[in-house]
Structures are given as structure tokens and as C-alpha cells.
């Protein structure tokens, strides 16, 4: 299945970084969203996997965040052993579907897609008050609650999108009950918020934003997090790490983020890679081939 959705800024893909000393997983990627440099030509999955594997990122969690993307994620995870899927309605998708009278129907399809064994996660779901105004908040919260319940019912990993909604995300987790495994995708809080998430059992997933010059609170959170709760992601084709910020992101650039994370923590790079790899296996429900 081809994808036609596109990212934002134009730019050629950066060169390959130095390989990691131990493999890690990109636990949040959007291979179905065309790269900025070629908006009508998404990178073929096999090519993307080969390039990332060559630098120590042999496995990917493909995240679908609308119905076409969720269908594609499940299909792709069943085609490629190196990929597992997450399926959900993005929080900014929920108000649009609700306005069209299709939210409940869409949630029912997500629930069906999520029963596939190759779908390891319900996500990305959550709350976003940056792009959705007050008129869409009720639909967002209703959708988020249903996704939390679905993760609980199916024992799937919950993957949370949180933009400018820290307190409300925690409120709904507390009211609905956290599933056994849940991930704060592209963690964007400070050390205090990290502690609140960790207290409730979350994994914190760090993206290229941790390399940005203005992200010191995020680096403080990374420094405060225990080694067994840290994950790494791209959110590709978005959030490209420095020194390539603004150019198209991809899983093969994960080594730049991991090296920055090791520097922040004063950690041995190989040890951090091993920890991230083990954490991802646990966070997403067991061995990759199972």
C-alpha cells in the first residue's frame, strides 16, 4: 500500500551516522508518511530497514495514527519481521471524526485492528491542546479513554501523545487506570513531570528533541530517569536530531539521539544501548518474533 501523506520542511536526507555498538529499536516511526524531500515518493520499507539496520537500528515500531495509517501499520508488520505495529486515532484526529459523526465507528475499527498479534501497541493516542481548541477537548478525552480501556482489555502497550496537556494526561490515566505497559511518546516534560509519569509505571521515550539547544528541561528529565525506563524513537519523518534539525528524519538517525542521551547521562554508550534494547522488548510485550 502506498502512502500519500507528507511531512513539513524540504531537505535532503542526512548522511549515515556511525553505527551503534549494540542494536536498539526505534519505538515510534511513521514510515507511511512521505519524507519531506520526496513528498510523493515514500521510502520503500525494505530500503528503510536496510539503512537503519546498517547503523544498529534493526527493528521499528510502526505507528498508525489514523484509519489509513493503522491499516497500513498492521499490513506492514505482517509483511516484515523487523516491524511491529501500533494503531490508534491521533488526538487531533478524534475531533474531526466526531464532527463528522464517525468517531465511534473509527474506534471500533481500531479495536478490531488491535487484536492482530503483530499489533503490539494502542497508540498514538492521548491529548493535544496545542492544535485542538476547547471545542474538541471532549472528543479527545472520550477517544483517549477508549484507547486506554482497549490497551487494558487486550493487554497491549499504550503509547501516549501529550502536547501541552501534562496534567490532563495524568488525570485521565489516574481516572481510567494505567495499563500494564505504557509509553510517553516523544517525552516533552521536565524532571518533575517525568517523576510523576514514572511513579505511575510509564516508560519515557526520547526523540531528537533531546538534542535541541533549548531542551534543557528535557535533558534534566532524561538524567533523572532510571536506566530501565528509557526508550528512544525518531517520530520520523519529524523531530530530526541535531545537527540535522529541519531535515527529514528516519530510523537510521537514531544513533545521533542515543549518543546525545549517553552524553547527558555520562553513560557508557554500549551499556545504554543494551538497556534501551531490553527496555523496548519489555515495554512492547516480549520477544519481537513472538
Could you list the residues known to form a binding site, using ranges.
28, 30, 124, 161, 185, 235
Contact 279, 229 (CB under 8 A): yes
Residue 214 per-residue DSSP state = T
Which residue ranges make up the annotated binding site for a divalent metal cation? 28, 30, 124, 161, 185, 235
Helices (H), the chain: 45-53, 67-79, 93-99, 103-113, 137-154, 166-176, 191-199, 216-224, 254-265, 269-283
Q: How far is CA 286 from the centre of its chain?
A: 18
Contact 186, 233 (CB under 8 A): yes
Q: How far apart are CA 238 and CA 168, in angstroms?
A: 25
Q: How far apart are CA 21 and CA 16, in angstroms?
A: 15
Residues forming a β-bridge with 26: 60
Q: How far apart are CA 231 and CA 245, in angstroms?
A: 20
Q: How far apart are CA 116 and CA 273, in angstroms?
A: 29
Q: How far apart are CA 76 and CA 70, in angstroms?
A: 10
Q: How far apart are CA 290 and CA 288, in angstroms?
A: 6
DSSP output for 134-201: GGGHHHHHHHHHHHHHHHHHHT-EEEEEEES-HHHHHHHHHHH---SSEEETT----HHHHHHHHHTT
Q: How far apart are CA 266 and CA 264, in angstroms?
A: 6
Looking from the CA of 85 toward its CB, the CA atoms found within 13 Å total 26
Amino acid at each position: 500500500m502506498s502512502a500519500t501523506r507528507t511531512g513539513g520542511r524540504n531537505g535532503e536526507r542526512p548522511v549515515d551516522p556511525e553505527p551503534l555498538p549494540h542494536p536498539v529499536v526505534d519505538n515510534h516511526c511513521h514510515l507511511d508518511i512521505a519524507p519531506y524531500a520526496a513528498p510523493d515518493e515514500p521510502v520503500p520499507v525494505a530500503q528503510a530497514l536496510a539503512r537503519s539496520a546498517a547503523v544498529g537500528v534493526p527493528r521499528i515500531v510502526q505507528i498508525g495514527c489514523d484509519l489509513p495509517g493503522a491499516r497500513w501499520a498492521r499490513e506492514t508488520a505482517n509483511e516484515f519481521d523487523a516491524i511491529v505495529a501500533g494503531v490508534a486515532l491521533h488526538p487531533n484526529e478524534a475531533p474531526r471524526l466526531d464532527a463528522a459523526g464517525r468517531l465511534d465507528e473509527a474506534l471500533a475499527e481500531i479495536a478490531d485492528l488491535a487484536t492482530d498479534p503483530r499489533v503490539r501497541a494502542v497508540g498514538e493516542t492521548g491529548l493535544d491542546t496545542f492544535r485542538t481548541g476547547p471545542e474538541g477537548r471532549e472528543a479527545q478525552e472520550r477517544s483517549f479513554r477508549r484507547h486506554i480501556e482497549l490497551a487494558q482489555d487486550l493487554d497491549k502497550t499504550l503509547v501516549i501523545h501529550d502536547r501541552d496537556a501534562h496534567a490532563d494526561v495524568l488525570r485521565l490515566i489516574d481516572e481510567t487506570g494505567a495499563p500494564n505497559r505504557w509509553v510517553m511518546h516523544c517525552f516533552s516534560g521536565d524532571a518533575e513531570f517525568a517523576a510523576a509519569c514514572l511513579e505511575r509505571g510509564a516508560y519515557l521515550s526520547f526523540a531528537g528533541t533531546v538534542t535541541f539547544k533549548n531542551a534543557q528541561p528535557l535533558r534534566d528529565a532524561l538524567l533523572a530517569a532510571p536506566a530501565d525506563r528509557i526508550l528512544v524513537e525518531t517520530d520520523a519523518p519529524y523531530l530530526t536530531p541535531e545537527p540535522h534539525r529541519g531535515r527529514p528524519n528516519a530510523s537510521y538517525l537514531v544513533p545521533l539521539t542515543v549518543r546525545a542521551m549517553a552524553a547527558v547521562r555520562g553513560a557508557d554508550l554500549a551499556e545504554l544501548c543494551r538497556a534501551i534494547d531490553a527496555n523496548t522488548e519489555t515495554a512492547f510485550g516480549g520477544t519481537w518474533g513472538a
